[in-house]
Chains A and B, each alone.
Chain A
Amino acid sequence: MTEQFEPVIIGFTCNWCSYRAADLAGTARIKYPPNIRLIRLMCSGRLDPTFVLQALASGADGVMITGCHPGECHYLEQNYKAMRRFLLLRRMLTQMGIEPQRVKLVWASAAEGARLAQEITAMVEEVRALGPLNWGKVEVPAFSPHPSSLKEEVPA
C-alpha cells in the first residue's frame, strides 16, 4: 500500500474544448498527476448529473466537469445548461454529505492545455487532502445481489 492516499477523479470533457485542451497538454508534454481519468462527451451540455452520481457511487473520489468558456460553446450556449445543472447539483451534493470540492466545474478552451493541467493538479491536491470519499458517513447499506441471480435463488 502506498502511504499517500491516491484519489481517483473522473473528468468529463467536451469534445471541442477541454478534450482538446487535454490533447494539447499532452502534445506540449505538460505534466499532471495520473489520478484523473477522462471521458469524452460531445459537449458539457451532455453532462447528465447521473454520471456524476454514478462516478461517485462507483468509487471515484472526485469529479471534474469541463467545458468551453461561457459564450464560447461550440453548440452556442449549451455550457450554460451545464452550469445551471452544476450549480444545483452542488447544492444537492452538499446535503448528501459530499464536500463541494469533490465536484468541480472548470472552463477550459482548446488552447488552455496548461490551464487544464493546472486545474487537474490543484484538484488532485484538494481531494487528496480531503481523503477518500467518506462512505462511512454516507452509510451505504449492505450489498444486494444482482437480479440475474434470481434464477438460482427462486425455485422453479
Chain B
Amino acid sequence: MSENGSKPKFAMYWAAACGGCEIAVLNIHEKILDVDANFEIVFWPVAMDAKYKDVEAMPDGSILLTLFNGAIRNSENEAIARLLRRKSQILVAFGSCACQGGLPSLANLGTSQALFDAAYDGPSTDNPQGVRPQPQWAAPEGQLHIPEFYPAVKTLNQVVPVDYYMPGCPPESPQIAAVIDLVLQVLGGKAALPPPGAVIGAGDSTVCDECKRARNEKKITQFVRIQDVQPDPALCLLEQGLLCNGPATRSGCGALCPMAGALCVGCYGPAEGVLDYGARLMTAVASVIDSTNPAEIERILDGIPDPAGAFYRFNMGGSLLRAGRLPRKSKVAHEP
C-alpha cells in the first residue's frame, strides 16, 4: 500500500468532542512507538503543529489512515471532515461522538436557542450585555467570522462516507492497540481489511456478554437511581431496577462499568445490525416491566424521569428521529 518506499501517512482530528479520544490514543503506551515507526504523521493538531492549508495542499487520497474523533457541531467540523475524507484512503469514525454523536448529541433534544440561553444566560453565567456568538461580526479591524453553529449535532457519517467505525467513549486502549496492529499487518500483507462499513475494535454481542454479574429472568417492578440504593455487588444491575445500558450496548469494553459497580451508559453504541440504539434498549426494558395494569406501569415508568436521555445518552446523533441516521442497507434488487 505504501507508495515508493515512503511511510504511509496518518492523521487524527478532534471535532466536537472532549479530547478523551486523543488521550486514549496517547495512552496506548509503547504501541505509540509503532505508530511513529510505521507512519508518517501528517496532521494531528493535538500532537503537532499543522495548518489546514497544508492538508489542502496534499494530493487527494494521500493519507492512508485518518482517525476522526468528535461529532459535527459546526461548519468547521464539517469542512475538515470533508477535507480529510478527500485526502484519506481510510477514514475511521473514532469514538462515540464520531460514530453516534456521543454526549454532545443529547443537545439535539432541544433547540440551539435553548442551548445558547443555557450557556450565555444560565445561572452560572455572568453576561450582562447578553452577548451571543455571531457567525459574522463587523469589527473595526474588519469582518470577523466564526464557524456557523449547526442546529443539530451530526455524526461523522451524516456528512461524509465513513469506512470504519470504532466506538467507545473513549475507545479502550487495548482495542486501539489491536486495531493499529491490524493495520500494520494489512500493510505487511499479512491480513486483509475488514469489509467497509464494519465496526472495528469492538465485539459483536453486547456488554452483558462480558459482564460477570449473576442474572435471572428479569421482572422489574420499580426503577431506582444508583445514588439512592446499595446495589447487590454480584447481581445484574438491571434486575435491581437500575437502568444499566449493558444489554443493548456493543461489547468490547470488557464490561468495565458494571464490573466496577457503575451502570453501563452505552458508549459503545448499538449492537451489530441495530438500527436505533434507544429503541432497542427501551423495548427491552419495557418488555420486562412486571405489570399488566396501565396505571401500575405508568407508576413504574415514573422511575425513569428522562427516558430519552436515559436511552440515548451516547447515541442520540445516530437515532432515527433526532438527527441524521445511518442509512439502512438497501437490499439490492437488481444489478445496476
Does A touch B (CB under 8 Å) in the complex? Answer: yes
Q: Contact at A87–B292, with CB atoms within 8 Å?
A: no
Q: Contact at B109–A96, with CB atoms within 8 Å?
A: yes
Q: Which residues of B contact A143 (CB under 8 A)?
A: 324
Q: Contact at A138–B321, with CB atoms within 8 Å?
A: yes
Q: Contact at B307–A88, with CB atoms within 8 Å?
A: yes
Q: Which of B49-57, B116-124, B279-287 has 4 or more CB atoms under 8 Å from chain A?
A: B279-287
Does any Cβ of B come within 8 Å of A81's Cβ? yes
Q: How far is the CA of A57 from the CA of B321 in the complex (A)?
A: 6
Residue count of chain B within 8 Å CB distance of chain A:
54
Cβ distance A55 to chain B, nearest Cβ, rounded Å? 9
Q: Which residues of A contact B301 (CB under 8 A)?
A: 87-88, 91
Q: Given A49-B279, A54-B320, is A147 in contact with B162 using a C-beta cutoff of 8 Å? A: yes
Chain B: which residue is nearest A136 at the CB level? Answer: B151
Q: Given A50-B275, A77-B292, A87-B286, is A96 in contact with B308 using a C-beta cutoff of 8 Å? A: yes
Q: Contact at A50–B158, with CB atoms within 8 Å?
A: no
Does any Cβ of A come within 8 Å of B160's Cβ? yes
Q: Contact at A141–B161, with CB atoms within 8 Å?
A: no
Does any Cβ of A come within 8 Å of B278's Cβ? yes
Select A50's contact among B276, B286, B298, beta carbons within 8 Å: B276
Q: Given A53-B279, A95-B109, A140-B323, is A150 in contact with B196 using a C-beta cutoff of 8 Å? A: yes
Residue count of chain A within 8 Å CB distance of chain B:
39
Does any Cβ of A come within 8 Å of B289's Cβ? yes
Cβ distance A37 to chain B, nearest Cβ, rounded Å? 19
Q: Which residues of A contact B287 (CB under 8 A)?
A: 81, 84-85
Does any Cβ of A come within 8 Å of B108's Cβ? yes
Q: Which residues of A contact B162 (CB under 8 A)?
A: 147
Q: State which residues 239-282 of B face A: CB under 8 Å.
A: 275-276, 278-280, 282
Cβ distance A107 to chain B, nearest Cβ, rounded Å? 11
Cβ distance A152 to chain B, nearest Cβ, rounded Å? 9
Q: Given A53-B320, A54-B275, A91-B307, is A144 in contact with B282 using a C-beta cutoff of 8 Å? A: no
Q: Please give the residue numbers on chain B whose beta carbons come within 8 Å of chain A beta carbons, in ascending order.
A: 60-61, 72, 85, 88-89, 108-109, 111, 150-152, 154, 157-163, 196-197, 275-276, 278-280, 282-283, 285-287, 289, 291-292, 294, 297-298, 301, 304, 306-309, 311, 319-325, 327, 330
Sorted from nearest, which 5 A-B pairs have the closest CB atoms? A155-B61, A95-B308, A144-B158, A53-B320, A50-B279
Q: Please give the residue numbers on chain A whose beta carbons come within 8 Å of chain B beta carbons, in ascending order.
A: 48-50, 52-54, 56-57, 70, 77, 80-81, 83-85, 87-89, 91-93, 95-96, 98, 138-147, 149-150, 153-155
